[in-house]
Chain A
């Protein structure tokens, strides 16, 4: 079956511009997660959705970052006034049910590589 998909696979933008990154989770998965992975590091948590609502956005680094999931399926991560430090691979993951210990198997997408010039 189809896995988690993310578009675009690569995004190059200029400092100060606005970008949107899209995630299509596995069909039927209620939980969706965004992570950011800098070169040579492990993924860092940004935000978690359960259904349409953001259950935990404690990982968003500042108010330039925002994410939505209006219909409980596709999610968009939005970054305003991009900075060079935002350059990273942005990963999306989904799971069938969030928060249950042992059942929190997250399936990851291939990521979007964002480069801010």
Chain B
């Protein structure tokens, strides 16, 4: 079946540090891939997406590249801010529904 595996958190970084959150997936066919973010006290929001191999999704300084050969969709940001503190979820679509990873909590310290 389809599944998503994310690195466990929490990830604690200082402001302006480089961020990588690893995500790998198992799926039949060629799913679309997503990163969702959940800020404290708020609902899930779509951060970025990629729909086919080698696509790069980007938003708010975050990037992720759809790597079919390694079945990965790692999230990166060159310089994190305190306001990026949140829980990040990697997800893939599965016949219209999303399959999520377990989430990675990011804490950015000033």
Interface residues of A (CB under 8 A from B): 3-4, 31, 33, 35, 40-45, 48, 50, 55-56, 59, 91, 93, 98-99, 101-102, 104-111
Contact = CB atoms under 8 A, between A and B. Distances in A.
A99 B95 contact: yes
B100 interface: yes
B27 interface: no
B93 interface: yes
* Chain B facing A: main interface SS: strand
Contacts of A40: 102-103
Contact of A105 (B49, B95, B99): B49
B89 interface: yes
Nearest to A45: B97
B98 interface: yes
Contact of B45 (A41, A44, A108): A108
B42 A43 contact: no
A8 to B, nearest CB: 15
A99 B46 CA distance: 17
A44 B93 contact: no
Given A43-B100, A104-B98, 9 more contacts: A43-B44, A44-B100, A45-B98, A48-B96, A91-B44, A93-B44, A101-B51, A102-B51, A108-B36
A109 B43 contact: yes
Contact of A110 (B31, B42, B96): B42
Contacts of B94: 45
Interface in B60-107: 89, 91, 93-103
Interface residues of B, number: 24
Given A41-B103, A42-B103, A104 B96 contact: yes
Nearest to B41: A110
Nearest to B51: A102
A56 B95 contact: yes
Contacts of B98: 33, 35, 43, 45, 104, 106
Contacts of B49: 102, 105
A110 B43 contact: yes
Interface in B13-47: 31-32, 36, 42-46
